[in-house]
Amino acid sequence: MKAFNDLADFSNEEILALIELAGRLDKHPEPEALKGKVLSLLFLSPSLRTLASFQAAMTRLGGGSFVISPEMSIHGLESRPGIVMDGAAAEHIREAVPVIASYGDAIGIRAFAERKSIEADMAETEFSSLIDLIDTPYINMESAMNHPCQNLADWKTMDDLSIPTNGGKFVLSWAYHPRALPLAVPASTLYMAAKRGMDVTVLRPDGFELPEAIMQKAKLAANASGGSVTETDDRDAAMQGADIIYAKSWSSTRYYGDKNGDQKLREEHLAWCVDEPWFANAKKDCRFMHCLPVRRGVVVADNILDGPRSIVIPEARNRMLAQMAILYQMLGGDS
Ligand code: CP
């Protein structure tokens, strides 16, 4: 495997093989599988789970990793092309990225969306410019529109609980958050659930529709897998018979890049905090998923997060297992 960038680059059979491998490595550890291998980790955006789970994954497989981020004691990092570097930054990404990549056998890169232009973010302009600087295998640890490691872990989490594929209902719900967050998780989660063959409903207020190209990509995946994709702002209809509610906040697409416009619109929807009444029409054992971090009492009520519906902790642990499978395939574990 030369790249793990987008679930769309893999067949369902290949995804299921990765999930099976993740389960096997959990039950039957292989602490020497990647002995002597090194993973470079470049975080241009913050993290807890991705940072910790990649390091844990490499250690469990017998390899090593190192982390570089702008918050560390490194020279100031410049990313603008063609800039005259007479300011604070002493190092350009054009040298830093290939140098970091050259120390490892593979590199993981995280660079969130700039959230200035929807066109630039949809085109993955920043992530592509970083990947163009390297020739080692790479893993997308979250870019403008993709979070494939999260998607693989989420798919595994549903498989672990025998959540139905065909006929299973997945509600991807917008939730209130005080800040305008990226589209990477909602866009790629929608795709994941559609590709898994589920009946997916995007529940969101007006002004928070996902981009048409994202909806179309998911609909094509659903058609191929026997699922479906719809969207609505009607919570009762969306939650009817749901197996999963996956909550996430995201930027307004109507006011993308317009902080004030987005803020004004989102503040009309403070009540979009997932709580027990949301589940009135859902399946009795409908589960709550979230990629984390999550704001308690803002995105979701404590009683949901702390109660039996929540599967956010096994979901987060599956990040490590899913990434062990990716690294094993990418860096040449035995089988
Ligand atoms: N879900 C996720 O990617 O978490 P972090 O941002 O903490 O890595």
Q: Which two tokens stand for residue 67?
A: 């982390």
For residues 111-145, b (16+ Cβ closer than 10 Å) or e, as one string?
bbbebeebeebbebebbeebbebbebbbbbbbbbb
Measured in residues, the chain has a length of: 335
The predicted structure's pLDDT at residue 71:
83
DSSP per-residue string spanning 126-164: HHHHHHTT--S-EEES--SS--HHHHHHHHHHHHHTT--
The predicted structure's pLDDT at residue 236:
97
DSSP for residue 45:
S
The pLDDT tens digits for 86-97 are 998 999 999 999
- Residue whose CA is closest, atom 1 of ligand 1? 291
Which atom of ligand 1 is closest in space to residue 53's alpha carbon?
Answer: 8
Q: Where are the alpha helices (DSSP H) in the chain?
A: 12-27, 49-60, 93-102, 118-122, 125-131, 148-160, 184-195, 212-225, 235-239, 259-266, 302-305, 312-331
d(CA 38, CA 15): 24
Residues of the chain with pLDDT under 50: none
Do residues 175 and 299 make contact, with C-beta atoms less than 8 angstroms apart?
yes
Which of 47, 109, 249 to mutate for ligand 1's pocket (most ligand atoms within 8 Å of CB)?
47
How many Å lie between the centroid of ligand 1 and the Cα of residue 151? 12
Which atom of ligand 1 is closest in space to residue 50's alpha carbon?
Answer: 8
How many Å lie between the centroid of ligand 1 and the Cα of residue 47? 5
How many Å lie between the centroid of ligand 1 and the Cα of residue 124? 19
Domains and CATH numbers, the chain: 3-146+318-331 (3.40.50.1370), 162-310 (3.40.50.1370)
What lines the ligand 1 site, CB under 6 Å? 47-50, 142, 150, 291-293
Do residues 164 and 197 make contact, with C-beta atoms less than 8 angstroms apart?
no
The predicted structure's pLDDT at residue 17:
98
Which atom of ligand 1 is closest in space to residue 292's alpha carbon?
Answer: 1
The pLDDT tens digits for 98-138 are 999 999 999 999 999 999 999 999 999 999 999 999 999 99
The pLDDT tens digits for 308-319 are 999 999 999 999
Q: How far is CA 330 from CA 26, 28, 110, 254, in A?
A: 18, 19, 18, 39
How many Å lie between the centroid of ligand 1 and the Cα of residue 113? 14
Q: Which two tokens stand for residue 278?
A: 């949301």
Q: Kindly report the pTM of this predicted structure.
A: 0.97
How many Å lie between the centroid of ligand 1 and the Cα of residue 237? 30
How many Å lie between the centroid of ligand 1 and the Cα of residue 274? 20
